[in-house]
């Protein structure tokens, strides 16, 4: 599964520019799905047909990044952040564009920079030279990476949410026999307001929807979340944007216990995922989420434990087959 994660994580896909990562995922799912479609928003839907309940799994394929807004006379590139970027951690790190232009994110700010105080430097000496590599509207992301640490822990970016996409691909491969009508949805523009999840859920009209994403942890200070890396995937109860179906939470816990899958309960006071958009689209549905505990979210050193990932694959597979 690490090789799958590498392929997904090293592929560009900032919000609104998901074409490259969408094509990479399409190649992975086509051999295992009965039908693969792309909707008007750019969401990718892999359908495994059945006659029973409509069960939809979703993971967002977009990542945080930048759009080039202006090329200055000195060759520096002004940018607009896309998604919840921590510019303190982002400054003075490498970036790469959708067209392969490499550079660094710089700032002249003395303290924490504002969005208008950062720029991308691709090494150009003037505007004319910069325009040979970058156009206004081009997208950039922080240089992707994945590095093995100790044991089953890895660090890199963007685990948010390529790890969720990898889990869905593995579940699609693993499902052997079920009457459920299964939809594996890879959504766009989650990082800028969970925009893609609502229309695709409206279209699918699932009875049950499960989002796969990352979640914050207590490992690096504080004790208010009760979630740790390496202690199992989480079953979301609530976050700042959604209260999950209690009936579904109980069933997910039951399946985890039956499958002897270690899990954690998730109560998140800040942040949200596609779960909220899935829950309220059209006539609504029973919605829940499985999350991967992740350290240092939205930085260049996001950290996960593959034990949690494997547990999430097993739990989501049980849900797909038996919910």
Tell me the average pLDDT across 175-199.
94
Higher pLDDT, 89 or 55: 55
Res 225: pLDDT: 67
pLDDT digits (tens, 9 = 90+) for 266-317: 998 888 899 999 999 999 999 999 999 999 999 999 999 999 999 999 999 9
pLDDT digits (tens, 9 = 90+) for 154-177: 999 999 999 999 999 999 999 988
Tell me the average pLDDT across 85-95.
90
Which of 190, 266, 302, 321 is flagged as catalytic? Answer: 190
Tell me the two tokens of residue 51: 């006659």
Res 156: pLDDT: 96
Residues 108-145 as b or e (16 or more Cβ within 10 Å = b): eeeeebeeeebbbebebeeeeebeebbeeebbbbbbbb
Q: Please answer whether residues 60 and 67 qualify as being in contact, where contact means their C-beta atoms are separated by less than 8 angstroms.
A: no
Predicted confidence (pLDDT) at residue 57 exceeds the cutoff of 90: yes
pLDDT digits (tens, 9 = 90+) for 192-207: 999 999 999 999 999 9
Res 109: pLDDT: 87
Cα(first)–Cα(last) distance of the chain, in Å? 25
Tell me the two tokens of residue 52: 């029973």
What is the C-alpha separation between 130 and 215, in angstroms, rounded?
38
Predicted confidence (pLDDT) at residue 223 exceeds the cutoff of 80: no
pLDDT digits (tens, 9 = 90+) for 104-142: 999 988 888 888 899 999 999 999 999 999 999 999 999
Instruction: Tell me, yes or no, if 190 is annotated catalytic.
Output: yes
Q: Are strands 94-97 and 102-107 parallel, antiparallel or unpaired?
A: antiparallel
Tell me the average pLDDT across 61-90.
95
What is the C-alpha separation between 227 and 217, in angstroms, rounded?
5
CA atoms 50, 53, 59, 61: torsion sign: positive
Degrees, nearest 5: CA angle 63-157-91: 85
Res 220: pLDDT: 58
Q: How many CB atoms lie within 10 A of CB 203?
A: 18
Rounded to two decimals, what is the model's pTM?
0.95
pLDDT digits (tens, 9 = 90+) for 21-33: 999 999 999 999 9
Domains, the chain, ordered by start: 2-63+158-322 (3.40.630.10), 65-142 (2.40.30.40)
Angle between helices 19-29 and 159-174 (to 10 degrees): 20
Res 3: pLDDT: 96
């Amino acid at each position: 599964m690490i090789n799958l994660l590498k392929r997904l994580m090293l592929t560009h896909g900032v919000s609104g520019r998901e074409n490259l990562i969408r094509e990479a995922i399409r190649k992975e799912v086509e051999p295992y799905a009965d039908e693969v479609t792309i909707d008007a928003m750019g969401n990718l839907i892999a359908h495994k047909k059945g006659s029973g309940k409509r069960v939809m799994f979703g993971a967002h394929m977009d990542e945080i990044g930048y759009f080039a807004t202006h090329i200055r006379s000195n060759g520096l590139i002004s940018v607009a952040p896309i998604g919840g970027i921590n510019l303190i951690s982002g400054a003075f790190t490498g970036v790469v564009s959708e067209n392969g232009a490499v550079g660094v994110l710089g700032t002249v700010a003395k303290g924490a920079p504002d969005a208008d105080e950062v720029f991308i430097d691709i090494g150009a000496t003037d505007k004319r030279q910069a325009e040979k590599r970058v156009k206004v509207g081009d997208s950039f992301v922080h240089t992707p990476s994945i590095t093995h640490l100790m044991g089953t822990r890895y660090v890199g970016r963007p685990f948010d949410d390529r790890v969720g996409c990898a889990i869905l691909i593995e579940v699609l491969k693993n499902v052997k026999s079920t009457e459920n009508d299964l939809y594996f949805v890879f959504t766009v523009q989650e990082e800028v307001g969970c925009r893609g999840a609502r229309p695709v859920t409206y279209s699918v009209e699932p009875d049950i929807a499960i989002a796969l994403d990352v979640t914050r942890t207590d490992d690096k200070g504080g004790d208010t979340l009760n979630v740790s890396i390496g202690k199992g995937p989480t079953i979301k109860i609530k976050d700042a944007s959604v209260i999950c179906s209690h009936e579904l939470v109980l069933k997910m816990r039951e399946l985890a216990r039956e499958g002897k899958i270690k899990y954690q309960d998730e109560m998140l006071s800040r942040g949200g995922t596609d779960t909220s958009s899935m829950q309220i689209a059209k006539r609504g549905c029973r919605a829940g989420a499985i999350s991967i505990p992740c350290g240092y979210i939205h930085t260049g050193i996001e950290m996960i434990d593959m034990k949690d990932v494997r547990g999430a694959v097993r739990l989501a597979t049980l849900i797909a087959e038996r919910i």
